[in-house]
């Protein structure tokens, strides 16, 4: 019997970045799901703070080399990989000199969000999907962690919806308490239109706040997970109003079976439709 394939796409993963709720779930859940008999792949951005020598990252030449166009500008895609020896788990990293070489993660040295975080998110999400295509690996479930992945459901369902690697993929979005104030670049919707999205597809991107990015992700998700015991009220309300299958919060360390069963339920539910 064919193993279920689960693609994990995360904003942060420990031990490559500091421990927090999101990074620990993104480290431990894939291992637990793999031990449940599912096949996994794991992706994150290669932020400049990650010590490549310490974590033994190396470039995957056969996967690197293509260019991705973001806002009408070419950006080379570089793919790196490292292993977590204690988990026998590989992590793929999306890298680019313009977006991911700076020595911070999402904020500058003064604590302010980078003005191009929207473009970085576009590049990351598209980079993951293009790399998966090059791998020739068709995921049954794509599980997104963190607001930085919030554009990925849109790309899976609308941009790559007819691609044989993703046409049957179900998307799960985990929402976490960690948030940002204000909004990303207000020109985000215009940048997304460059990739061919209609105005109706990206209505929530016109004002790219933390809440609206989640609404956009939920719109194209097949399932939603409460990744934190407490969520931003607007995000919690959007989750309840989404009409999608929901997995309520449970401690991931003791709820791997619940996650695995949630994936199975979504795959079996042919009634789940994109809005």
SS (H, E, C) 132-165: HHHHCCCCCEEEEECHHHCCHHHHHHHHCCCCCC
- Residue 230 belongs to some domain of the structure: yes
Does residue 273 sit within a domain?
A: no
Q: Is residue 275 part of a domain?
A: no
pLDDT at 271 over 60: no
Residue 252 has pLDDT above 80, yes or no: no
137-194, pLDDT tens digit by residue? Answer: 999 999 999 999 999 999 999 999 899 999 999 999 999 998 888 999 999 999 999 9
pLDDT for residue 138: 96
Confidence band, pLDDT 50/70/90 cuts, at residue 273: very low
How confident is the model over 220-232, as a mean pLDDT? 96
Within a domain: 49: yes
Residue 252 vs residue 175, higher pLDDT: 175
Residue 1 has pLDDT above 80, yes or no: no
CATH code, domain with 260:
3.40.50.2000
pLDDT above 80: residue 272:
no
Does residue 275 have a pLDDT over 60?
no
In a domain, 102, yes or no: yes
Number of domains in the chain: 1
Residue 48 has pLDDT above 80, yes or no: yes
Given a cut of 50, whether residue 274 has pLDDT beyond it is: no
Is residue 274 domain-resident? no
Mean pLDDT of the chain: 93
How does pLDDT run across 62-80, given as a tens digit for each residue? 999 899 999 889 999 999 9
Range(s) of the domain holding residue 88 = 5-268
- pLDDT score for 94: 98
Report yes or no on 50 lying in a domain: yes
- The model's pLDDT over 210-223, given as tens digits with 9 standing for 90+, comes to 999 999 999 999 99
177 domain residue, yes or no? yes
Write down the pLDDT at residue 270.
52
């Amino acid at each position: 019997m064919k193993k279920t394939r689960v693609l994990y796409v995360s904003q942060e993963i420990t031990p490559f970045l500091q421990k927090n709720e999101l990074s620990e779930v993104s480290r431990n859940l894939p291992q637990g799901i793999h031990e449940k008999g599912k096949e996994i792949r794991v992706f994150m951005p290669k932020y400049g703070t990650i010590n490549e020598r310490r974590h033994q990252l190396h470039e995957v030449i056969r996967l690197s080399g293509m260019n991705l166009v973001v806002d009408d500008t070419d950006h080379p895609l570089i793919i790196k990989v490292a292993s977590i020896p204690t988990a026998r788990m590989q992590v793929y990293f999306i890298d680019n000199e313009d977006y991911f070489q700076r020595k911070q993660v999402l904020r500058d040295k003064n604590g302010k969000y980078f003005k191009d975080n929207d473009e970085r998110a576009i590049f990351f999400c598209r980079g993951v999907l293009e790399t998966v295509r090059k791998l020739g690996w068709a995921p049954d479930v794509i599980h997104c962690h963190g607001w930085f992945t919030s554009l990925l459901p849109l790309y899976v369902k609308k941009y790559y919806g007819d691609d044989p690697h993703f046409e049957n993929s179900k998307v799960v979005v985990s929402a976490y308490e960690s948030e940002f104030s204000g909004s990303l670049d207000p020109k985000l919707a215009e940048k997304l239109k460059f990739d061919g999205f209609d105005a109706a597809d990206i209505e929530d991107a016109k004002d790219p706040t933390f809440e609206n990015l989640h609404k956009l992700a939920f719109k194209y998700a097949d399932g939603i997970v409460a990744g934190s015991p407490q969520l931003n009220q607007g995000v919690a309300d959007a989750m309840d109003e989404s009409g999608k299958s929901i997995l309520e919060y449970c401690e991931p360390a003791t709820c791997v079976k619940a996650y695995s069963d949630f994936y199975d339920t979504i795959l079996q539910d042919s009634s789940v439709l994109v809005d």
